[in-house]
Copies of this chain bind each other. A is one copy, B any other.
Amino acid sequence: MTSTSTKVPVTSAEARAEFRENRLAQPTSGMAPGFVQANLAILPRESAFEFLLFCQRNPKPCPVIDVIEAGSVEPKISTPGADIRTDGPRYLVYRDGVATDELLDLKSVWRDDLVSFLLGCSFSFEHALIENGITLPHWETDKNVAMFRTNLQTTPAGPFSGPMVVSMRWIPVDKVVRAVQATTRFPNTHGAPVHVGNPEAIGVADPMKPDFGDSWEPAHPSDVPVFWACGVTPQAVAMASKPPLMITHAPGHMFLTDLRDEDLAVL
């Protein structure tokens, strides 16, 4: 479970090679810059239609980048030649909604009826914010963004339902419009914000007390809290349905695809 390498891989292929040999198993923030990183949700085939439909109905929290059908382990659309069982840095196994194992590969638990969903993550749109001159202090530390359960309800599908989880970033007041524009280009990595300003309007009582991640002070008193749909949502929703088996990436340990951020831009 320890990392035996300290170099930071420059490409996603280099990173996956390290993960495959278990020479590296650390959080992937800042790794292989410019490559799309993905949230991972693996479920038995019997739940696949309803989970894909949940994602289709809730594209902001659940943007689908790639789906590996039962019987295959290769993310053919996003990362041809990769093996989803071995090429991620670290995995969590849930049984009946409870985390039972943290693993470096999935060889011991793999089944031919498992369907793997790769969902967009915030790193791509954060890169767009940075390119537009917006500082994200959590990129310079080991701390995570602030995340909150909201009173925004997802649209249910089958057993999957529940509140939307959002991430919050303090945005300088003169950059709010630019932040909306820059992230609108990336609907497959959560896209435009779901809410700007007034945390209470979406059920966030105190923006300094996140439900997940870390608390952040605004850099300037005039900074505006801006909220984006978060990839924690599909995991939380799926786990609340207590499937007999579900596998995800370990928090912060994303699957690195061969797609580039700009491949996901819609304009």
Contacts and interface: CB of A to CB of B under 8 A. Distances in A.
Interface stretch (A46-54, A231-239, A253-261): A46-54
A69 B158 contact: yes
A135 to B, nearest CB: 25
A157 interface: yes
A56 interface: yes
A187 B77 contact: no
Interface residues of A, number: 20
A109 interface: no
A53 B48 CA distance: 10
Nearest to A57: B77
- Name which of A157, A158, A266 has the most chain B CB atoms within 10 A of its CB: A266
A184 interface: yes
A64 interface: yes
A79 interface: no
Given A52-B56, A64-B56, A266 B77 contact: no
Contacts of A57: 67, 77
Interface in A166-209: 184, 187, 192
Nearest to A46: B49
Interface string A238-267: 000000000000000000000000000011
A69 B56 contact: no
Contacts of A49: 45, 48-49, 52
A49 to B, nearest CB: 4
A67 B56 contact: yes
Interface in A28-71: 45, 48-50, 52-53, 56-57, 64, 67, 69
Given A49-B49, A52-B56, A56-B64, A155 B77 contact: yes
Nearest to A67: B53
Contact of A184 (B56, B69, B158, B267): B267
Contacts of A267: 184, 192, 267
Contact of A53 (B69, B157, B187): B69
Contacts of A266: 184, 187, 266
Given A52-B56, A267-B267, 4 more contacts: A49-B49, A52-B52, A187-B187, A187-B266
